[in-house]
Structure 1
């Protein structure tokens, strides 16, 4: 990752991060890089992430929590064994931190170019990142944010991984992209999301990704909507832009 100089601002190792303390939220960003994601779609996706983390409302949401900080990391996924953590855990506790992380997201190279679609294994990978020995911060809430444009076609049923994560106190939210499968939002509601306050924020297409991820981040950081307790299956909350 030498091509991403922004990482030198604090996206590095646990030895530094462990000194940073408490976060309101530990957020795993899980980005689909399966074969259905064409290169132009990937560029729009990364631009959307970068734009979201530079938006004043996202910055304000991050800095206005009880601890004024959010821990975040980013990985790409496709098939059952294809997961690449490209931006490790970092604590965003200032405007400069947030903007630096957004800039780094915008420059992340694509590392996976196919291999099927296995959101269940992506959930498992994200859950492992939220374990105490991998998460170098104390976090009040733990969330996995899964984006994707297709159904599971490899590996385990994703609902099994979702239920395991929810049983450990993790929430999974979804950002289904509807450009290939117009009903993929219903699939995400039934099979992907779960946990306290879980919701989906559909994007009509990759051109709409930036607005969807911005709105989604604000809701996740602000811990809205709330459903009153952990859930493990069935439709929960759908928020359409």
Structure 2
């Protein structure tokens, strides 16, 4: 029994091989939304984050981008993360092909409870997203991890290590840094957050980031980012919203 527990713990926290899941209905993009819920994000900011994702997914322009793909659908997985010890799948893989699908997904997110924990492990978030990608039941033309947060990696292995593993699996990592006007835990980050995301977080074919100037700008940044990710549009590496 103890051996089984140790193996399960290693699978949850380790950087091991991903076992691919059986493919189901094909989609244009398999997209993991990896969302920061560390203690630096207060209740109001957390609400703005979730509302940003809910309004973006249901936005008619986003749904139009989804329907305009070759297969006319995407698969979404919504993960919340904090320190290296905490990554939680809030909404498992869900195929979105219609406005009704998008509305249902947003309603599910509105009802989901939220945790707030200490520290920020972008490496843990990427690893959890990489494992989730291996379990996606939909065969996808493209695989993308979308990491959003308001701080640099300060828990677990370096973010670059996890990024490189994901990129080696053929996954693109895009970023949505939130340029909060309050330093994390009263300390300024070692480098500007947008530069950190550019150099240490994003990677893979066509990788880009849209930086939200603050939490109020987050919803607009999410909408712009999703349209570009879903449509696979080229553009500059860094944008600001």
Which TM-score band (shorter chain)? 0.7 to 0.9
**Equivalences for residues 76-225 of structure 1 within 5 A:** 76-111=80-115, 113-131=116-134, 134-179=135-180, 180=182, 183-225=192-234
Q: Give the one of 33, 36, 39 matched to 1:32.
A: 36
Is 1:240 the equivalent of 2:231? no
Aligned-partner SS, 2:211: coil
Task: Name the larger-Rg structure.
Answer: 2
**Equivalences for residues 4-43 of structure 1 within 5 A:** 21-43=25-47
Work out whether residues 129 and 145 of structure 2, in 8 Å CA contact, stay in contact via their aligned partners in 1: yes
Question: Normalising by structure 1, what TM-score?
Answer: 0.84
Return the alpha-carbon distance in structure 1 between the equivalents of residues 112 and 66 of structure 2: 22
Return the alpha-carbon distance in structure 2 between the equivalents of residues 19 and 30 of structure 1: 22
How many angstroms does 1:224 deviate by? 1.8
Deviating runs (4+, > 6 A) in structure 1? none
Query: How much is the aligned-residue C-alpha RMSD, in angstroms?
Result: 1.7
Return the alpha-carbon distance in structure 1 between the equivalents of residues 30 and 23 of structure 2: 16
How many angstroms does 1:53 deviate by? 1.2
Corresponding position of 1:4: none
Is 1:45 the equivalent of 2:46? no
Give ranges in structure 2 of 5+ residues lacking alignment: 1-21, 184-188
Question: Normalising by structure 2, what TM-score?
Answer: 0.84
